[in-house]
Structure 1
Amino acid sequence: MTEAKILVIDDNKSVLSALEILLQFEYKSVETLFNPNQISSFPNMEEIDIVLLDMNFSAGVNTGNEGLYWLNEIKKKSPNTSVIMMTAYGAVDLAVRALKQGASDFVLKPWNNERLLATVKSAYELRKSKQEIHQLKKKENELKQVINADKNFIIGNSKALTSVLNLVRKVAKTDVNVLITGENGTGKELIARELHRLSPRKGELFIGVDMGSIAENLFESELFGHIKGSFTDAKEDRAGKFEAAHKGTLFLDEMGNLSLQTQAKLLSAIQNKSVVRVGSNKPIAVDIRLISATNCNLEQMVADGLFREDLLYRLNTINIEVPPLREREGDILVLAEFFLKKFAAKYDKPGLRINNLAHEKLMEYPWPGNVRELQHTMERAVILSEGNVLKPTDFLLHSKPLQSMEHMPSTLDEMEQQMIARALEEHDGNYSAAAGQLGISRQTLYNKLKKKNK
């Protein structure tokens, strides 16, 4: 006996009795209603698997409109219940109308018992399929919420950061491609996630891809997918990142690491809004919001012939430049306190605080590694701390802070002269020691200094 609940609705009591007798040997629960007005108050309609519904209830009326009305009422209460329409007045156009409005099938009176049982069985299979689809969609939505739940926050209220976040809020509402630029460690992925969180696609997946970590021979398989047997290890069909991000956001990081060949393949997918799995020739349409990121100067790479200009135009509809930490005045200490609380809780060291001298040290340091370096510095300080107060000596920073980008040498000659000057300074003008550190002879050092002074 099938574990299904069936409801029969008909104004002919002999029909109700006949169907109840026929179905009770096949299905666990069979209920009947003589008056369709009872549908509105019928308890737990969503638990009913199949409804057999008469189409005409008023004497002398055979249009089927009554049945269509009650079909809609049932569907309002329980969209996934399978409804089989019954009538003694068969017409093709009536059957079509019923199916269009959500009926699963149509039965003529008088019915053939075997045929009716087969129709009910098919309707029950349809009901189960709908339930399974509903459960899968529910699980999918729950999974998306878990995947998209990001515990990292954009911390700070500096003018530089506020300006960026204002731009993010404007751009997030659109579907334009965005290129996020900035130094390593500035939080480009956090900006990408914020774009997704504020966008109409926020209920869908955010898929991030580190382009620099993908081997060139696996590029197409990773991004576009492959079919079973397309290469040695392709043991089953597999969707790529583009398909996984369908309806959502695809974030491609480290774009400056792509070869010209892979750039061409990526450009084709973006232009066509479709991908072709490795080993297949069937294009698959994809609907994504594309966000890219890099710490490279892509315009200079275009000038040097290392990056395709047409791809840059595709990626760079809107450019968001994330400021380095040294330009976010006031955010250093805010971030330091945030990471302090985070890691103090993680390593069970409550009550930790940073003293004023340590604050000054953190503020004076240029943070060449940006927020990522500050995070690691704070974690290390918390782990190694022995008291409740973090002092300047608890923060292991470069003894000579790395130069800010404004003072970075622009030529090899400038870099060489800076290295020579630093070596001489570290060895108090001792030419032999400086030359030894630089890996050159004392005479070569003299020659380079003469060249500089000419």
Structure 2
Amino acid sequence: MINATILVIDDDDDILLSARLFLKQHFSQVLTCKSPKEINVLLSRNEVDIILLDMNYQKGASDGREGMYWLEHILSIDREYVVILMTAYGSVELAVRAIKEGATDFILKPWENEKLFATLSAAWKLRQSTKKASKLEKIRSSLQNDMASRAGAIIGSSPALLYVQRTMTKVAPTDANVLILGENGTGKQVFAHELHQLSARRNQVFMHVDLGALNENLFESELFGYAKGAFTDAREDKAGRFELADGGTIFLDEIGNLSLPLQAKLLTVLQNRTVTRLGESRERKVDVRLVAATNMPLDEMVTKGTFRQDLLFRINTVELVLPPLREREDDVMELATHFMQVFSTRYHKDCRSIDSRASRLLQNYPWPGNIRELQHVIERAVIMADNNFISEHDLQLRQSAFPAAAPTDMQLEEMEKHMVTNALNKHKGNISRAAAELGLTRAALYRRIEKFGI
């Protein structure tokens, strides 16, 4: 007994009786009606899986026009309905036209019971597959929307941020691989998701893979998939992350944590644009846009032999170097206000502003944890606030994190210029190595070179 509801529509009482007597032996519910005018009511009251629809109702009609009209009407209600047309006046041309218009199949009356059951069984499997695909698509869409809301927007208008955004706007519409560099907490995932949203793949999957949290033994099975029986617990075939992201964007976070053997396996996939599941020999083509990110100095790692140079060349067609929050002083209060509004809504608080003393404290703090630290500080402040504003006391910032008394601006600039010049001379003009020694991003070092006219 198949758990499905069959609706049979025919103006002949004998056909309806015959269909009911036979089909109720195989399907859990069989509905019948003599007029297609009852379709709207029946479909609104029942979850129908398959519709058996006669093509002629007026006396003497044999051209099938009525059936084609009601087929179009049913599919206008829901394109996923499975409709099988039936007629005593069959022709190849009519069958072909019916299929083109959206019918699942076409049978002739009088039917053979075995053939009718085979046709309905195949249609039921198609219905189940369609429902499953529709459900998965809804889940995928929901997950993508949820990820977009969690990723958040890029907030700020400081020169350092605008520079990165301009580069991102240029590269986003292309399929070029992008490497996002930056300290922890600078918003690498936010930028990766924004790249995806600005690309032609925006309506496809954005697959985030945290390589830093991925067990080395599971790397291949998670990224490339596996076949049933490939290892002890492989009870069914499973697609890997690359296959699941086909047509979309795959974001490989913390790529600097990969061991050399795993780097080699990843490089092969990126070069060939194919994956081979564990336990299989068949190569499967994948079409993905690669975005990678790390807070590690990959150029320095290449020099030390801990990161493959050919893989670096493959992943960094374009580099986005995200500035730390201490280089985005103009954005601190804009970000803080945004987080205050988000957490006030989440925790049902009435925080409307940040007072002047708290604002100065936020702007003078060095933010070693960058935007992520600022977000956590504001979240805690909203929770702790007793008023409709955030005070200095609510922030609970560590005073030890503030810099000690600093030299004058002139002295500081001279010291900074001297340090930059020495680092460049030491590394013979190699920007990446000089920046790594100074603890700066390459973009930050370029700005200082321009500032001091070096």
Q: Calculate the TM-score normalised by the size of structure 2.
A: 0.72
The amino acid across from 1:322 in the alignment is L
- Quote the residue 1:4 is aligned against: 5
Q: CA deviation at 1:252?
A: 1.0
Q: Equivalent residue of 1:150, what SS?
A: helix
Shift of residue 32, structure 1, vs aligned partner:
1.9
The partner residue of 1:20 within 12, 16, 20 is 16
Larger radius of gyration: 1
Partner of 1:103: 103
Distance in 2 (alpha carbons) for counterparts of 1:108 and 1:349: 68
Question: After superposition, what is the alpha-carbon deviation per residue over 1:12-49, rounded to whole angstroms, capped at 9, x for unaligned?
Answer: x6xx122122124335421123xxxx66x952575553
Q: How big is the shift at 1:338?
A: 3.7
CA gap of 1:8–1:393, structure 2 versus 1, over 3 A, is closer
The amino acid across from 2:80 in the alignment is N
- Verify: 1:370 aligned to 2:357, yes or no: no
Partners of 2:160 and 2:199 lie apart in 1 by 22
For residue 309 of structure 1, report the CA deviation from its aligned partner.
3.2
| Separation in structure 2 between the aligned mates of residue 400 and residue 242 of structure 1, nearest angstrom | 44
Match of 2:392 in 1: 390
Aligned length: 403
Alignment map for 1:243-322 (pairs within 5 Å): 243-322=243-322
Q: Is the 8 A contact 1:158 1:328 kept in 2?
A: yes
Contact persistence 1:50–1:123 (CA under 8 A): no
- Aligned partner (choices 40, 43, 50) of residue 43 of structure 1: 40
User: How far apart are 1:5 and its partner, in Å?
Assistant: 4.8
CA distance in 2, matches of 1:341, 1:237: 46
Question: Residue 31 of structure 1 is aligned with which of 33, 36, 49?
Answer: 33
Q: CA distance change for structure 1 residues 80 and 264 in 2, over 3 Å: closer, same or farther?
A: same
Residues 46-61 of structure 1 mapped to structure 2, 5 A cutoff: 49-54=50-55
SS of structure 2 residue aligned to 1:43: helix
Of residues 323-332 and 139-148 in structure 1, the stretch that sits farther from structure 2 once superposed is: 139-148
Whether the 8 Å contact between 1:85 and 1:106 is mirrored in structure 2 is yes
- Per-residue deviation, 1:345: 6.7
Q: How big is each residue's C-alpha offset from its partner over 1:108-144, in whole Å with a ceiling of 9 and x where there is no partner?
A: 3444456446545654554455444434433443344
Given that 1:46 and 1:81 are in contact with CA atoms closer than 8 Å, whether structure 2 keeps it comes out as no
What is the CA–CA distance in structure 2 between the aligned matches of 1:215 and 1:131, rounded to whole Å? 35
- Alignment match, 1:443: none
| Aligned-pair CA distance for 1:269 | 1.2
CA shift for structure 1 position 181: 1.4
The separation in 1 between residues aligned to 2:382 and 2:107, in whole angstroms, is: 75
Taking the aligned partners of 1:113 and 1:379, their CA distance within structure 2 comes to: 68
After superposing the two structures, state which structure 1 stretch, 316-325 or 348-357, moved more. 348-357
Q: 2 CA distance for matches of 1:364 and 1:345?
A: 27
After TM superposition, the structure 1 = structure 2 runs for residues 182-193 of structure 1, keeping only pairs within 5 Å, are 182-193=182-193
1:3 is displaced (CA, Å) by 6.3
Equivalent positions of 1:209-248 (< 5 A) are 209-232=209-232, 234=234, 237-248=237-248
Partners of 2:346 and 2:72 in 1: how far apart?
56
- Structure 2 gaps, min length 5: 407-411, 427-433, 439-454
**Residues 266 and 59 of structure 1: is their aligned pair in 2 closer, same or farther, counting only changes over 3 Å?**
same
Q: Please say which of residues 280-289 and 67-76 is displaced more in the overlay.
A: 67-76
* Cα separation, 1, equivalents of 2:33 and 2:282: 50
The verdict on how the C-alpha distance between 1:300 and 1:43 changes in structure 2, with shifts beyond 3 A counting, is same
Tell me: CA distance 1:280–1:127, structure 2 relative to 1, closer, same or farther (3 Å): closer
- Cα pair 2:155 2:334 within 8 Å, conserved: yes
Q: Give 1:73-88 correspondences, 5 Å limit.
A: 73-88=73-88
Q: Distance in 1 between matches of 2:105 and 2:349?
A: 67
User: Which stretch shifts more, 206-215 or 188-197?
Assistant: 206-215
Matched-pair contact (CA < 8 Å) for 2:144–2:205: yes
**Counterpart-to-counterpart distance in 1, 2:229 and 2:16:** 53
Give secondary structure in 2 for the equivalent of 1:293: strand
Amino acid across the alignment from 1:8:
I
- For 1:173 and 1:162, the matched residues in 2 are separated by 18
Return the alpha-carbon distance in structure 1 between the equivalents of residues 380 and 4 of structure 2: 61
Distance across 1 between alignment mates of 2:348 and 2:109? 75
Query: Corresponding residue for 1:444?
Result: none
What value does the CA root-mean-square deviation take over the aligned residues?
4.2
| Per-residue CA distance 1:358-390 (angstroms, 9 max, x = gap) | 433433343343223333444566677789631
Which amino acid counterpart does residue 275 of structure 2 have in structure 1?
Answer: V
CA offsets 1:201-226 (integer angstroms, 9 cap, x no match): 34444322222333433322232233
Query: 5 Å matches for 1:320-339?
Result: 320-339=320-339
- Distance in 2, matches of 1:243 and 1:385, equals 47
- Hey, what's the Cα distance between the residues in 1 that align with 2:85 and 2:117? 14
CA 1:77–1:213 in structure 2 vs 1: closer, same or farther (change >3 Å)?
Answer: closer
Residue 113 and residue 253 in structure 1: after superposition, are their counterparts in 2 closer, same or farther (change >3 A)? closer
Is this contact kept in 2: 1:326–1:367, CA < 8 A? yes
Give unmatched runs, 5+ long, in structure 1.
419-454
Quickly say closer, same or farther: Cα 1:22–1:324, change in 2 above 3 A.
same
